[in-house]
Amino acid sequence: MALYATAASVLAGVESRRGSIKGLVYASSFQNVKQLYALVCETQRYSSVLDAVITSAGLLRAEKKLRPHLAKVLVYELLLGKGFKGGSGGRWKPLLDRHQARLKAELARLKVHRGVSKNEDLLQVESKPGPASQVPRFVRVNTLKTCCDDAVDYFKRQGFSYQGRASSLEDLRALKGKCFLLDPLLPELLVFPAQTDLHDHPLYQAGHLILQDKPRACSACQASCLPAMLLAPPPGSHVIDACAAPGNKTSHLAALLKNQGKIFAFDLDAGRLASMATLLARAGVSCCELAEEDFLAVSPSDQRYRQVWRPDGWRSPGRAHLARRACRPWLGSSGEHCATRSLSPPCSVWSTPRAPSAKRRMKTWCGTPCSRTRGPSG
């Protein structure tokens, strides 16, 4: 069945750091995104339990053609999920039927060994040492379509209890039920309990909310919102996002620009770029040009980027030192600035600009192309 194969592919991609769960799910061709996302998240949540059961049962030794990630997804569905009803298991159902008794016996043995009676209790035993499993859900209000006060009022009308601005990270981790907070550091960032699912929420579907990828720690999600906020480009500026997909930071930049100016967004992954175009369109972004291209291969002297803005603070000693080294070709006397992030190549490759890439440029405009308004000079 395509669901299980796609879920296995997403898990493999997350493990190899090709992307986040949400990014890879939306980049897949599977139609029922919510079903796929739920299956991947739950399989990953029970990952160590499934590994123990699969190893004890000798499943991979007996079935040489069964790949580990697919085995994990199938065993989750058999033991912890909805099971294989009717023909839902496809060609994998007979295989799982052959091992069903042994797999169930190993799961029961694991629960006895750990002194628990429910499947959920296995997670509690494993997650006691650390708070990462209780990382809250971070939601950024898209100010291109609404404001933070209106979003808060909407949730309050739905029965949520607004607790005001958090005073510490402990306040965020302590969230429960239908309570939510305003992030202590970042404006327009709402924080909900870890298990809050807003994928079907009307504000998300309408592009009024941007769901941040679920991180391993509270600070990681907050940090993902910092680049655009620290850059703080005024409306009318031209900005570069060097590794743009899946688009959360790009949409944040567009909100700060108020759709006035231009964002040049680069990414090498065509699938992630297509998903990004969908996200930006839903968010109402109209000032972004997407390019399926290696940013490192773009010439800093290209006239298209002559108006890219650099703030005054960028010149102060010690500020953004690593980014300045990485972007040396872009930091000329003309007041250019490059907002880069997540660059895997070493900084030394920037010492000599390379010729523009011959790759096909995918100029995808999300809405009406904006004017080339010159931003403030550095």
For the annotated binding site for S-adenosyl-L-methionine, the residues are: 243-249, 267, 294
Q: List residues bridging with 298 in a β-sheet.
A: none
Strand partners, 238: 262, 308
- Complete DSSP assignment for 273-324: HHHHHHHHHHHT--SEEEEES-GGGS-TT-GGGTTB---GGGGSTTTTHHHH
Annotated binding site: 243-249, 267, 294
CB 233 within 8 A of CB 239: yes
Angle between helices 2-15 and 33-45 (to 10 degrees): 50
**Hey, which residues does 247 pair with through a beta bridge?**
none
Give the separation between CA 184 and CA 3, rounded to whole angstroms: 39
**Which helix (H) or strand (E) is 62 found in, with range?**
helix 59-62
Question: What count of other Cβ atoms lies within 10 Å of the Cβ of residue 371?
Answer: 11
Rg value, the chain, Cα: 23
- Token pair 């192309």 is found at 369
Pairing of strands 179-182, 288-292: unpaired
The owner of tokens 């003309």 is 334
Residues in the chain: 378
The answer for residues whose C-beta is within 8 angstroms of residue 225's C-beta and 6 or more apart is: 138, 140, 186, 189, 212, 249, 252
The beta-strand segments (E) located in the chain are 137-141, 161-165, 179-182, 189-192, 209-211, 238-241, 262-267, 288-292, 364-365
Distances (CA, A) of 359 to 113, 242, 298, 343: 57, 16, 11, 19
